Chain A
Amino acid sequence: MATTAPEQATSRWTKEDARAARKRNAKLHRKEYVWAAAFLAPPVIGWIAFLLFPMAFSVYASFTNWNGLGAMQWIGLQNYVNLFQDPYFWKALWNTLFYMIGIPIGLALSLGLALALSRKIRGRTFFRTVYYIPVISSLAAIAILWQWAYNGDFGLVNQVLALFGIQGPNWLMDPVTAKPALVIMMVWKGLGYSMILYLAAVQAVPRSLYEAAALDGANAWKRFTKITWPMVRPVTFFLVVTNIIGGSMIFTEINIMTPTGGPQWSTASLVWYVWNKAFRNLQMGYATAMALVLGILVLIVTIIQFRLNRANNFSID
């Protein structure tokens, strides 16, 4: 790193020169800092105003008896104590977990569809479009449509079952069938989105890997389990994480298809219960406590998923 510059510098530079240079530099840096701050400010301010502040406020609200309209009354941990003793909270939590059954089913189906539609078959674009239509459709409209499809007497589902001599139940009015009925609808709704992502991932797998495996005598199943599945794993991971987060917030379908939470509360999700407490029964403090518990649970599950994913990481290099 040594150069001749210091020698030359000692002959020319004075303390005043150094000070002036520092000043110039400082001025230059200050300008850069100002610009950096200006560029950073919008997201930081946005994050503070729309995330940190409301979150801190929510945490505070969860320790109060508050109707969402008037003043708050500090009640410490009472909301949390009540919450853990509230059978409806546990039931709503269980219902929400039950809905997650749809995630692996949906992923398996969408991967199957992606594999099928990545082949050169007739009407490929048509099928891709058809499967994607539910994704871009209004959830409220879809919920109403499925509500009719599940109608005990006139519903499409039971009419199809009747063709096979099966007398279908009144899906949304039976505590046993209401949740599975909603799961089927959610899988149908989400299929196109997962399929598109899988399709992109499947098509990105280098052909050379399949060719090499085929030369080594690997059959189709081996090629799927040893090449395709590991190669699409980042997409699977992404879909599992986002589906769990999205699934934990299920609300619209429940509120439209079973507005009272279903027979014997069989379909009420946690977010539906939060909404019900906050806006129908004016217990915003209690609802906030439930929302925070749900948020913490989702956070824990997501951290575990990231840990597991890191442990299973691999590279084709």
Chain B
Amino acid sequence: MRRMKAAAVAATMAGALTLAACSGSSSGNASEEPDTSGGDAPNELTFMFRGGEYDKLAYEQAIASFEEETGASVTMIITDADQYATKLQAAIAGNKVPDVFYIEPGRMQGYVYANVLADLTSYVEQDVLDNIWDFGVEAYRFDKETGQARTGPLYGLPKDVGPFGFGYNTVMFEKMGIEAPDPDVPLTFDEFVDIAKQLTTDTDGDGELDQWGTGLNVQWNSQAFVWGAGGDWISEDQKTVTVDDPAFAEALQWFADLQLVEQVTPSVEPAQTLDTYQRWMAGEIGFFPVAPWDIATYNAVAEENPDTFGYDVIPYPVANAGDETATWLGSLGIAVAETSKNKDLAAQLAVYLSTDLEAQKILAENKVQIPNIKDYAFGEWIETDAPAAGWPANTEEFLQIADEYGRALPGTWTYAPEWYDEFWVGIDQVLTGQMTAADYAAQVQPNMQSKLDLAWSNAEQAKAQG
């Protein structure tokens, strides 16, 4: 009966995927789906993950070493990043769960309630955990009883942590004769606007602005400013939407006013697209986000255009002097299937992939991520390996974000992020000045709250049903 149900679910999922992919059926690049089932023989494992060529390279080497050490035979299944979550869910529903696979913290709860993920607590030594970023470990803890994330048994280990840093164009600052921001002390909002105003100028004298202070995508940058002003999207217990808090509205309005009032960004509409990313690399924007996955690209641009582009990392601005800077920190984890026939070996592989020094070196050297292992990151890497590989001067800021002040994006610790997505639906009305941030926040809060309540009720349901 269980088999029948699994077959039915798999067929339904396949139908849903086909339905979703139908409009793309003429693309002519359909390929055979790999078998994601876990290994049968005592030494066989499957590892399903997503990523670019460097992830593959790093893990191929790590897995080769693991196979040599343990005699295991690991089959790697790599998928496109945008299809990974859907394929994993289909594999789970079809009872073809890989032994080891990537998992996002934000999607973990449903999997834990459905008993898909193995509890790894007893498989990982405490000293190993102590040497990984706390955020990266906590992100994969979940307490089924209370429904609280970041506490309880461990259901995964971090593949990486991704600090979303802030940066500035060093060449532009030098040319304009503006003092470089302090790498350790965050600018205040007022200082930030002052500098941004100085940077916003017509450099070629044709009567049109061609250089701007900043240009930030609201969906990825407003968190740092809202948090830096003491606001948040959700309460600490993850049960109340707090966007109607005055501090929140004030910070969001300040963010919108960078264009509406201060006019230090190119324009409202381009700021919502990736346009400012291009302008930043073209040397037309002063302040812009810098994250580890951008480093390789930024370095190439800096090398090609040293007269217009150079960059370094600084902390995100804060509302008032002395406030704590903030930004978000992402993570991707490695989990083990509860149904794996070789759970011990699979757990061993998960630990190996998360903490293997050679794999971490390859990923860091190729500027895919900062290392996972704290003593390496704060020691050899920051002192010699990172500078040698071309990481920016203040790379240490990334480590501080990972170690001290990085927070998860809102929605990560709730059962589903629908309530958080709701916030962005009409955000353009604030950015274009059609609504004030306070009015918008007051209008959207009840909808967000009802979706958050639904997420909690669905979590309860998932807990009850298993």
Contact = CB atoms under 8 A, between A and B. Distances in A.
Interface of A: 49-50, 53-55, 57-58, 61, 65, 67-73, 135-140, 151-154, 169-170, 172-175, 193, 246, 249-253, 255-256, 260-261, 263-265, 271, 274-275, 278-283, 287-288, 291
A53 to B, nearest CB: 6
Q: Which interface residue of B24, B115, B275, B416 has the most chain A CB atoms within 10 A?
A: B24
A193 B25 CA distance: 13
A252 B110 contact: no
Contact of B27 (A58, A137, A174, A279): A137
B24 A152 contact: no
B26 A139 contact: yes
Interface in B412-466: 415-418, 421, 424-426, 428-429, 455, 458, 461-462, 465-466
A272 to B, nearest CB: 8
A182 to B, nearest CB: 11
Nearest to B279: A153
B275 A53 contact: no
A170 B269 contact: yes
Nearest to A58: B12
B114 interface: yes
Q: Which interface residue of A135, A151, A170, A288 has the most chain B CB atoms within 10 A?
A: A170
Which 8 A/B pairs are nearest by Cβ-Cβ distance?
A170-B269, A69-B114, A71-B465, A139-B24, A70-B114, A54-B11, A281-B416, A252-B24
Interface residues of B, number: 56
A70 B219 contact: no
Contacts of A249: 19-20, 22-23
A69 B27 contact: no
A261 B28 CA distance: 26
B151 interface: no
B12 A61 contact: yes
B273 A170 contact: yes
A152 B27 contact: no
Contacts of A71: 465-466
Main secondary structure of the interface of B (DSSP, over half): helix
A261 B418 CA distance: 13
B24 A57 contact: no
B394 to A, nearest CB: 30
Contacts of A57: 8-9, 11-12
B26 A135 contact: yes
Given A153-B275, A169-B269, A260-B219, A138 B12 contact: no
Contacts of A250: 23
A246 B25 CA distance: 10
B269 A152 contact: yes
A68 B269 contact: no
Contacts of A153: 266, 270, 275, 278-279
A99 B206 CA distance: 42
B16 A154 contact: no
A175 B23 contact: no
Contacts of B274: 151
A152 B275 contact: yes
A39 to B, nearest CB: 24
Interface of B: 8-9, 11-16, 19-24, 26-29, 82, 85-86, 89, 92-93, 110-111, 113-116, 219, 266, 269-270, 272-275, 278-279, 415-418, 421, 424-426, 428-429, 455, 458, 461-462, 465-466
Q: Which interface residue of B15, B20, B114 has the most chain A CB atoms within 10 A?
A: B20
A170 B270 contact: yes
A152 B270 contact: yes
A275 B90 CA distance: 12
A69 B21 contact: no
A54 B6 CA distance: 11
Nearest to A72: B465
Contacts of A271: 19-20, 23
Contact of A140 (B24, B273, B415, B461): B24
14 contacts: A54-B8, A54-B14, A58-B12, A68-B13, A136-B28, A138-B29, A170-B273, A246-B23, A260-B219, A264-B425, A278-B16, A280-B421, A282-B458, A283-B416
A70 B415 CA distance: 14
A172 B274 CA distance: 12
Given A49-B11, A65-B461, A264 B20 contact: no
Given A70-B114, A138-B28, A264-B425, 11 more contacts: A49-B11, A57-B11, A67-B461, A68-B93, A69-B92, A70-B466, A136-B28, A153-B266, A169-B269, A271-B19, A279-B86
Contact of A253 (B8, B23, B416): B23
Contacts of B86: 275, 279
Contact of A264 (B15, B266, B428): B428
A283 B458 contact: yes
Nearest to A259: B82
B425 A261 contact: yes
A96 B174 CA distance: 51
Given A173-B269, A251-B23, A154 B11 contact: no
Q: Which interface residue of B11, B28, B115 has the most chain A CB atoms within 10 A?
A: B11
Contacts of A264: 425-426, 428-429
Contact of A69 (B16, B110, B272, B273): B110
Q: Which interface residue of A54, A55, A151, A260 has the most chain B CB atoms within 10 A?
A: A54
A246 B110 contact: no
B27 A151 contact: no
B114 A252 contact: no
A242 B418 CA distance: 33
A263 B16 CA distance: 26
Q: Which interface residue of A57, A70, A193 has the most chain B CB atoms within 10 A?
A: A70
A154 B266 CA distance: 13
B8 A275 contact: no
A67 B24 contact: no
A50 B27 contact: no
A186 B116 CA distance: 40
B23 A139 contact: yes
A121 B278 CA distance: 43
Contacts of B461: 65, 67, 73
B222 to A, nearest CB: 14
A54 B12 contact: yes
A260 B20 contact: no
A137 B466 CA distance: 43
A275 B92 CA distance: 17
A65 B26 CA distance: 34
B214 to A, nearest CB: 16
Contacts of B93: 68-69
Nearest to A49: B11
A138 B89 contact: no
Nearest to A246: B23
A260 B424 contact: yes
Contacts of A61: 12
Given A65-B458, A250-B23, A265-B425, A282 B269 contact: no
Contacts of B82: 255-256
A68 B272 contact: no
